């Protein structure tokens, strides 16, 4: 019982998966811009990467009870940030701990700035990790979400999914594969990258400027309408 009740995000298999996710996300995150980024993670002491074109991070840890970290709040309440605040929102296994994964995704989309990037990771429910996960998280309230279901919710929130891929080892470390990483369809985790649509730019309307001279002023004599007679 003690082993099953232990924080699964502190276990060696999931810590290895988090490291694999960080490496796989690096190329996309390095290009993100903005004054601030938001990380919502299920893992304790999960430090986000330093990104050259982002001003700083707001870090939250999400448990079934609520948010902790840079601020505290109830897990069922909206995120306490204004719309379009962050150039990057990173959800690290947060959909597994959220009371409603769909509500969390819509809140993440709301606080993401137009043109900004949403990156999320999780344990893939259709992988060899699932029996181990279910045994370790029994009665914890955690749940796994299939990436394709998340894609539909993100489309509803006006985000375009740019890529979905498997990541990590085929089996939890210590279960027989030695923690070897797989880039193919056998990885136990997944990452998803989506971008928020930019607002359409309204066409600029030019106001006519009053002309202080007569219409024919400055025209050559042959170009004036009166010269046609």
Among 188-192, 195-199, 212-216, the range of highest mean pLDDT: 188-192
pLDDT score recorded for residue 52: 85
Q: Which residue has the tokens 């894609």?
A: 151
Residues 6+ apart with CB under 8 A from 14: 8, 43, 93, 123, 172
User: What average pLDDT score do residues 2-12 get?
Assistant: 73
Give the model confidence (pLDDT) of 138-166 as tens digits. Answer: 878 899 999 999 999 999 999 999 999 99
Q: Sort 27 into a burial class: Cβ within 10 Å, 0-12 / 13-18 / 19+.
A: exposed
Contact 85, 58 (CB under 8 A): no
User: What average pLDDT score do residues 52-63 get?
Assistant: 91
User: What average pLDDT score do residues 83-95 get?
Assistant: 96
- The yes-or-no verdict on residue 131 having pLDDT over 80 is yes
Contact 187, 121 (CB under 8 A): no
- The yes-or-no verdict on residue 35 having pLDDT over 90 is no
For the chain, the distance separating the N- and C-terminal CA atoms, rounded to the nearest angstrom, is: 105
Chain centroid to CA 28: how far? 11
Q: Please state, for a pLDDT cut of 90, what percent of the chain lies above it.
A: 66
- The yes-or-no verdict on residue 113 having pLDDT over 50 is yes
Q: How does the average pLDDT of the chain come out, rounded? A: 84
pLDDT-derived band at 91, boundaries 50, 70, 90 = very high
3-state SS assignment for residue 173: coil
pLDDT score recorded for residue 193: 97
Q: Which of 110, 190, 203, 99 is nearest to 150 (CA)?
A: 190
pLDDT score recorded for residue 200: 56
pLDDT score recorded for residue 65: 86
pLDDT score recorded for residue 135: 92
Contact 108, 40 (CB under 8 A): yes
- The yes-or-no verdict on residue 94 having pLDDT over 90 is yes
pLDDT-derived band at 207, boundaries 50, 70, 90 = low
Count of CB atoms situated within 10 Å of the CB of 200: 7
In this structure, whether the domain defined by 2-197 belongs to CATH 3.40.50.150 is answered with yes
- The yes-or-no verdict on residue 62 having pLDDT over 80 is yes
Both tokens of 77, joined, read 């309440």
pLDDT-derived band at 228, boundaries 50, 70, 90 = very low
- Taking the domains of the chain in order of start, what are their residue ranges? 2-197
pLDDT score recorded for residue 50: 87
Q: Sort 198 into a burial class: Cβ within 10 Å, 0-12 / 13-18 / 19+.
A: exposed
Task: Please indicate whether residue 53 or residue 14 has the higher confidence score (pLDDT).
Answer: 14
CA distance 131 to 135: 6
Window from 31-35, 98-102, 216-220 with minimum mean pLDDT = 216-220
pLDDT-derived band at 176, boundaries 50, 70, 90 = very low
SS3 percent helix, strand, coil of the chain, rounded to 5, is 30, 25, 45
Q: Which residue has the tokens 């992988």?
A: 127
Contact 190, 116 (CB under 8 A): no
């Amino acid at each position: 019982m003690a082993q099953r009740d232990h924080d699964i995000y502190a276990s060696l298999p999931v810590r290895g998966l988090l490291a694999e996710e960080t490496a796989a996300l690096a190329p996309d995150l390095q290009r993100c811009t903005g004054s601030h980024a938001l990380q919502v993670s299920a893992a304790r002491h999960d430090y986000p990467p330093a990104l050259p074109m982002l001003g700083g991070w707001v870090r939250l840890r999400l448990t079934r009870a609520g948010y902790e970290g840079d601020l505290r709040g109830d897990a069922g309440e909206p995120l306490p940030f204004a719309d379009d605040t962050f150039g990057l929102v990173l959800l690290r296994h947060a959909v597994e701990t959220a009371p409603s994964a769909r509500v969390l995704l819509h809140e993440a989309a709301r606080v993401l700035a137009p043109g900004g990037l949403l990156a999320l990771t999780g344990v893939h429910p259709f992988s060899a990790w699932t029996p181990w996960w279910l045994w370790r998280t029994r009665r914890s309230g955690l749940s796994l979400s299939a990436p394709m279901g998340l894609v539909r919710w993100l489309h509803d929130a006006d985000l375009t999914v740019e890529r979905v891929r498997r990541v990590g080892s085929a089996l939890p470390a210590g279960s027989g594969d030695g923690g070897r990483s797989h880039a193919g369809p056998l990885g136990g985790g997944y990452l998803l990258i989506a971008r928020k649509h930019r607002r359409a730019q309204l066409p600029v309307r030019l106001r006519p400027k009053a002309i202080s001279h007569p219409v024919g002023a400055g025209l050559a004599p042959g170009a004036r309408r009166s010269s046609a007679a």
